[in-house]
Homo-oligomer: A and B are copies of this chain.
Amino acid sequence: MNGPDFQKTELIPVIAQDEASGTVLMLAYMNQTAYEETLRTGRVCYYSRSRQKLWRKGEESGNVQELKSLYFDCDADTLLVKVNQIGGAACHEGYQSCFFRRVDPASGNVTVEGERVFDPKVVYGKK
Please report A residues at the B interface, Cβ cutoff 8 Å: 1-3, 13, 15, 17, 21-24, 26-27, 38-40, 42, 67, 69-75, 78, 80, 91-93, 95, 98-103, 105, 108, 110, 113
Give CA–CA (A27, B28) in the complex, Å: 12
Quote the shortest CB–CB distance from A88 to chain B (angstroms). Answer: 16
Q: How many monomers of this chain does the complex have? A: 2
- Contact: A73 with B98, CB < 8 Å? yes
* A13 / chain B contacts, CB cutoff of 8 Å: 13, 27
A sample of 14 inter-chain contacts (CB < 8 A) reads: A2-B108, A3-B103, A3-B110, A13-B13, A13-B27, A15-B27, A17-B24, A39-B108, A40-B105, A71-B100, A71-B102, A72-B99, A74-B92, A78-B98
